[in-house]
Amino acid sequence: MREPAWRRPVLCSVGLLVAYYAFPVELGNTFVAGVGLLLTAAGLALLAWTMVQELRHLRVGEATRSTQALSLLLILLVMSSSLVFFLLDRVRPGEIEGLHTRTDALYFTLATMATVGYGDVHAEGQTARALVSGLIVFNVVVVAALVRAQASRRTGAK
């Protein structure tokens, strides 16, 4: 029986959200840090299993999986970038103005990648601006690749 097409992207997203919010950034309380690390490991294990399944499908030549794999990598990029921005703010407060929580970091990453940049959360420091610039360039490349893959598939070109 064939699994639903939505299953892996949904599992991947759930695994990444669990890992993102559970990743321990304050190691003062050993129990909380331990639970956070376990939840982070569980989320990353779910992501790893999902990506292995995706790579298996790509290896056997299922062309329709390439867009899904690219989408999964984009979700991974969003979550890992959000965590990097959150940790950067913890290490160097003030690098990103208005960023105080993990949700702020996720919001900032999504606003940056969507190029809407509301301005309420924005890069102030040079390190943050360099990271944001890299994210914008990478995002443009990924979106361009996704559009090209979709256009090629619709026209039947390789």
Nearest Cα residue to 11 out of 45, 61, 62 = 45
Give the domain range for residue 114: 7-155
Residue 69, domain member (yes or no):
yes
Nearest Cα residue to 44 out of 12, 86, 69 = 12
Residue 2, domain member (yes or no):
no
Residue 126, domain member (yes or no):
yes
Residue 32, domain member (yes or no):
yes
User: What is the pLDDT at residue 23?
Assistant: 80
Query: Residue 148 belongs to a domain with what CATH number?
Result: 1.10.287.70
Residue 1, domain member (yes or no):
no
Lowest-pLDDT choice from 1-5, 83-87, 129-133: 1-5
* In the predicted structure, residue 55 carries a pLDDT above the cut 80: no
pTM for this entry: 0.69
Average pLDDT, the chain: 77
Structurally, the chain folds into a number of domains equal to 1
Residue 64, domain member (yes or no):
yes
Per-residue pLDDT tens digits for 134-144: 888 877 776 66
Residue 129 identity:
R
